[in-house]
Amino acid sequence: MKITILNDDISLKRQLEQGNEQQLQTVREVIQQVRTEGDAAIKYYSEKWDGFAPENLRVSEQEIVEAVKNFDQQLYIDLQEAADNIRLYHNEQKRSGFRLPLADGSYLGQRITPLDAVGLYVPGGSAAYPSSVLMNVIPAQVAGVKRIVITSPAGNDGKLPDAVLVAAHILGVTEIYKVGGAQAIAALAYGTETIAPVDKITGPGNIFVALAKREVFGEVAIDMIAGPSEICVLADETAYADEIAADLLSQAEHDALACAVLITTSDDLADAVSDQVEIQLSKLPREAIARKSIENFGHIYVAESMKEAVRAVNSLAPEHLEVVTENAEKVSEMITHAGAIFIGRYSSEPVGDYFAGTNHVLPTNSTARFASGLNVDDFIKRTSVVYYSEKTWKQNSPKIARLARLEGLEGHARAVESRGWDKGEEE
């Protein structure tokens, strides 16, 4: 890996693919076709791009039963425990609203209402991502969403991976469709004969899925347009080079555009990690992908002090941050911008990806400066409530009318005054 002295130019921002004009035009055509032709368009594009046009778009109960029957029992137990951990963590995020009492029975308040329906997109085809099911479904369930829909592209055998169906089964989700790509996003946004529309779409996908989510935003809500994965490790001389290298590669293997950065105060650690990355790359099954990531977006920065290193981390605002230093918890308290923070030697990033309970859907490309990871709040609405008694109205209506006229909005003033107080009465 490239090793340099830390400087002010450090950045996670990459020239990422935002979709060329041809890709965008394709997505727009797909969305329009799905809006006008419904299921027929979905089957057409599924055949064209996935090589499979399902006769029935919806996964049958029997398919779910078979997936559970065929699944490894220990893995089932592991998924169940992971789901329990995720639910425990997200239960702490629940809101109950509030009521602020005023005089004479008046009050202000806020009501928390779950969304009616959400759609989760799960990438598929050659791979299975049951963790995506857990991370997207559970916060929606905790929020109280009544209808949760999963869409995912089928494999060459016309089926969804057993792991995806088992994860859905564990969570009690039964509305699952064999639909992928931009056509799935269009179906969730606008509905077809088989798939009723939802209010929000979450979940990762390829460039066509990302572009489709961007196109339908406004018609429905979306979680985010996430870029390739990132990891930043903040470490000092107490860290072990082989462990840090393994953590960097855990994200590099995601995507050739993934970013892996080490910021350290130790020259010796920098050299040792660079060597270890090369040693471990040669033994990694996804070596080709990880090597491109490391060559293009992997970097090791050496800082003069921990203060300078922390400042650099906050400038990066990485998706995942590991703090592997002496007094790691104290150092982590100086971090203000990161999607998720993993403290200490034994809190490797994959712990959060799969099992600990925190959500792995996180802001990328330095957007952790202002954005948060997926959480229960993403699946609720906050509604303001105002109740004024007659006495409170009488006390405040002249003030409200004056403020309305200050802004030149006579209709607003008259709406307040129309309630019957003596127009000539002084406050």
Task: Write the pLDDT tens digit of every residue in 404-418.
Answer: 999 999 999 999 999
55 Cβ contact list (under 8 Å, min separation 6): none
What is the 3-state secondary structure of 272-289?
Answer: HHHHHHHHHHCCCCCHHH
Which secondary structure element, helix H or strand E, spans residue 83, and what is its range?
helix 73-91
> What's the pTM?
0.91
CA distance linking residue 354 with residue 361, whole number of Å: 11
CA distance linking residue 281 with residue 201, whole number of Å: 36
What number of CA atoms fall less than 13 Å from residue 241's CA on the CB side? 17
On the question of pLDDT at 182 being above 90, the answer is yes
Which secondary structure element, helix H or strand E, spans residue 2, and what is its range?
strand 2-5
On the question of pLDDT at 158 being above 80, the answer is yes
**Structural contact between residues 259 and 297, judged by C-beta atoms closer than 8 angstroms:** yes
Annotated binding residue 90: no
- Split at pLDDT 50, 70, 90, the class of 423 is very low
**Percentage, residues of the chain above pLDDT 70:** 95
On the question of pLDDT at 66 being above 90, the answer is yes
- Split at pLDDT 50, 70, 90, the class of 13 is low
Structure tokens at 115: 């969304």
116 Rama sector, left if φ>0, alpha if ψ -120 to 50, beta otherwise: alpha
Annotated binding residue 280: no
Q: Report pLDDT digits (tens) over 194-224.
A: 999 999 999 988 889 999 999 999 999 999 9
**Percentage, residues of the chain above pLDDT 90:** 83
CA distance linking residue 109 with residue 132, whole number of Å: 35
On the question of pLDDT at 21 being above 60, the answer is yes
25 Cβ contact list (under 8 Å, min separation 6): none
Reported in sequence order, the residue ranges of 203-258 that DSSP labels E, i.e. its strands, are 221-222, 230-235
CA distance linking residue 123 with residue 259, whole number of Å: 21
Annotated binding residue 183: yes
Structure tokens at 9: 């130019």
pLDDT of residue 200: 98
- Compute the average pLDDT of residues 156-185: 95
pLDDT of residue 12: 59
Q: How many CB atoms lie within 10 A of CB 260?
A: 29
On the question of pLDDT at 420 being above 70, the answer is no
Look at 28-32, 47-51, 275-279 and tell me which has the smallest mean pLDDT. 47-51
Higher pLDDT, 366 or 51: 366
Burial of 202: CB neighbours in 10 Å, binned 0-12, 13-18, 19+:
buried
Round the average pLDDT of the chain to a whole number and report it.
93
Closest CA to 113 of 144, 70, 80: 144
Annotated binding residue 104: no
Annotated binding residue 254: yes
Annotated binding residue 412: yes
pLDDT of residue 409: 97
Annotated binding residue 407: yes
- Split at pLDDT 50, 70, 90, the class of 8 is low
Residues with a catalytic annotation lie at: 319-320
